[in-house]
A and B are shown apart, each in its own frame.
Chain A
Amino acid sequence: MKTKGFAKHYYLMLLPGYLWLIIFSIIPMFGIIIAFQQFNPGKGIFGSEFVGLEHFRYMFTLNDTRDILFNTLFIAVMKIIANLIVPLIFALMLNELRLLIMKRWIQTIVYLPHFLSWVILGGIVLDLFSYNGPINQLGGLFGLEPELFFANASLFPYLIVGSDVWKEFGFNTIIYLAALTGISPALYEAAGIDGASRFRSLWHITLPGIRTTAVLLTVLSLGNVLNAGFDQIFNLYNPLVYSTGDIIDTWVYRTGLLNLQYELATAVGLLKSLVGFLLISISYYLAYKFINYRIF
């Protein structure tokens, strides 16, 4: 085969990227050692005393650990599901719209929030939902009592999921729409001739046609769930909603950086990595099993 000497070229192509990752991802992983130490900044990572699993043991006696683990998973799963279904419904509705100019405008507007940071959107969202804010004023018109939305621990996770969906649904809609336009019009024509209603053709033609897109979106959202939850919650939460809104990342940030409990924070961070690994592995397996699709 002519491909014989190719491998060394392949390595060359990989070299810059791997160097980058080794320096900025793999080397800093030495920090995980802190989780097993009584970390003394004066002595550094290589000089501190090892204490085995003490911090992990303490971690599991904390109510916090259970809470943040649950919150992370709960919010993550809700986000994945909602970000799958809401854009799908919206895309289907948009697909039924016959005014093309309007369709294009709506498309362009709804995915705008996706591109804005949570630093910015967090400020806007908190303002909208404040006690005298527009949302409560609107509710007042319908005779509703003003509600302190972002102080309500039982509401908070849903507000997080809701505002995340609000930010992201437009973006995912675009992707669904592209898939929808990829479905051959001939299929709809045939269905129309057979006398199928709009809803029947939706069920039998449209939905099967975009199944793989749905899987893809799920996979894309996994990356977000593991990392991007931080920016959002960090900019929206307050101590009142720690019990339901604190996720691993925010907790680790506060504990490690603001409260100087480096060891505990690292231990919990490790836990997060494990949860992430689990999620990715599961989705890898599911995608492979159900649509015979290899994510990577």
Chain B
Amino acid sequence: MVRDTTPGSKMFDILLIIVLVLITLTCILPLWYTLALSLSSNSAAAAGRVWLWPIDFNLKAYQQILQDSQFFNSFWISAKRVFLGAGLNLIVVAMMAYPLSRSAQQFRARNMLMWTLIFTMLFNGGLIPLYLTVKELGMLNSIWSMVLVGGAQTIVFNIILTVNFYRNLPKELDEAALVDGAGPWYTLFKIYIPLAVPVLATVTLFSIVYHWNEFLYGLIFMTREEYYPLQTYIQQLVVSVDPATMTEDQYKRMSELSNRTLDAAKIFIAMLPVLVVYPFLQRFFIHGITLGSVKE
């Protein structure tokens, strides 16, 4: 590759590095700040004295979390939810995308079915009918309500992505399979899915992140804290309580227990799994998205 090395270009490079580093810092500093907060003393945190380094360094907040069985319980529920949600998403998406990636000549109902999917993605009856449905299915307090309701709302998007990927695989593959007398199931499992690993990894990652981060359904479908996934658990801790409807004793307890460092520590621990997992998946998903949808 030919690059010019004039002084002006050098200046440009230096400027570039400065700008890039600054922008990058904005992404990492807030998280760093949270970590510093979680390691500071509560009084320093409340007084707003913590900046980028912990004040009165201590691990009290983390020790407290270690004793909080509900935190780990919720953590475990979230992990299960991610596993079930992402697994189901993977199977169904991989399978559904195949027929839908056929052309309308190959599969006549294809367009109608596709628009039905778009329709389900856009229209909904609101939370109350959803709640009724889940209740009638006996799924209140079941992890399946979060897995299935959340999944149903994100699956269409993942299907679209995968359909695009399938469509862009070379047409010769189909023809060769046909010549060999392979049926649709064989073609899907032996030819398409192995080639589609990048996009399937991508939609799996989407699904993992979604199920890990989603909090509202936990709040709606779970009737007790012991069933809450982690984000719901954290959300209800961080939300303020209405002082107008509080009784005196509640208020008193609140004032004794509100704890910014503890919140920060919980937030930080809740971030950890995502921080750990994503470097491993990133290689796949970069390919998945770009190869999946860009026809050059």
A98: Cβ under 8 A from any B Cβ = yes
> Are A9 and B184 also in contact (CB < 8 A) when A133-B48, A198-B9 are?
yes
Per DSSP, chain A at the interface is helix
Bound Cα distance A230, B155 (Å): 18
Among B1, B3, B92, B108, which residue has its beta carbon within 8 angstroms of that of A17? B92
B-contacting residues, A188-244, CB 8 Å: 188-189, 192-193, 198, 212-213, 216, 223, 226-227, 230-231
Please tell me which stretch of B58-66, B118-126, B250-258 contacts chain A, meaning at least 4 of its Cβ atoms lie within 8 angstroms of it. Answer: B118-126
Q: Is the CB of B118 within 8 A of A212?
A: no
- Distance in angstroms from B243 CB to nearest chain A CB is 15
Residues of chain B within 8 A of A148, CB atoms compared: none
A117: Cβ under 8 A from any B Cβ = yes
Bound Cα distance A108, B278 (Å): 9
Residues of chain A within 8 A of B286, CB atoms compared: 174-175, 178
Bound Cα distance A265, B127 (Å): 10
A-B contact number at CB 8 A:
262
Bound Cα distance A296, B263 (Å): 43
Q: Is the CB of A9 within 8 A of B125?
A: no
> Are A124 and B33 also in contact (CB < 8 A) when A10-B184, A24-B148 are?
yes
Residues of chain A within 8 A of B37, CB atoms compared: 127
Q: Is the CB of B28 within 8 A of A112?
A: yes
Q: Is the CB of B20 within 8 A of A21?
A: no
Q: Is the CB of A273 within 8 A of B148?
A: no
A152: Cβ under 8 A from any B Cβ = no
B231: Cβ under 8 A from any A Cβ = yes
Residues of chain B within 8 A of A116, CB atoms compared: 213, 271, 274
Residues of chain B within 8 A of A216, CB atoms compared: 289, 293-294
Q: Is the CB of B130 within 8 A of A13?
A: no
Q: Is the CB of B155 within 8 A of A13?
A: no
B67: Cβ under 8 A from any A Cβ = no
A109: Cβ under 8 A from any B Cβ = yes
Residues of chain B within 8 A of A11, CB atoms compared: 99
- Distance in angstroms from A296 CB to nearest chain B CB is 5
Q: Is the CB of A32 within 8 A of B92?
A: no
- Distance in angstroms from B245 CB to nearest chain A CB is 13
Among B12, B126, B157, which residue has its beta carbon within 8 angstroms of that of A269? B126
Bound Cα distance A52, B19 (Å): 58
- Distance in angstroms from A131 CB to nearest chain B CB is 9
B209: Cβ under 8 A from any A Cβ = yes
Q: Is the CB of A28 within 8 A of B20?
A: no
Q: Is the CB of B16 within 8 A of A96?
A: yes
> Are A20 and B133 also in contact (CB < 8 A) when A99-B17, A133-B48, A212-B294 are?
no
B215: Cβ under 8 A from any A Cβ = yes
Q: Is the CB of A28 within 8 A of B133?
A: yes
Q: Is the CB of A185 within 8 A of B1?
A: yes
Chain A 11-23 interface mask (CB, 8 Å, partner B; 1/0)? 1011011101101
Given known contacts A17-B95, A106-B20, what 19 new A-B pairs fall within 8 Å (CB)? A16-B95, A18-B96, A20-B152, A23-B133, A28-B126, A28-B132, A99-B17, A112-B28, A113-B27, A117-B214, A119-B213, A178-B290, A179-B290, A193-B2, A212-B296, A213-B294, A262-B126, A280-B122, A296-B163
Please list 24 pairs of residues, one from A and one from B, whose beta carbons are closer than 8 Å in the complex, sorted by A's number. A6-B183, A7-B107, A10-B102, A13-B184, A24-B148, A28-B130, A29-B124, A31-B124, A32-B123, A93-B20, A97-B13, A98-B13, A109-B28, A113-B27, A119-B213, A120-B271, A123-B263, A124-B30, A166-B27, A182-B290, A216-B294, A231-B213, A231-B216, A252-B126
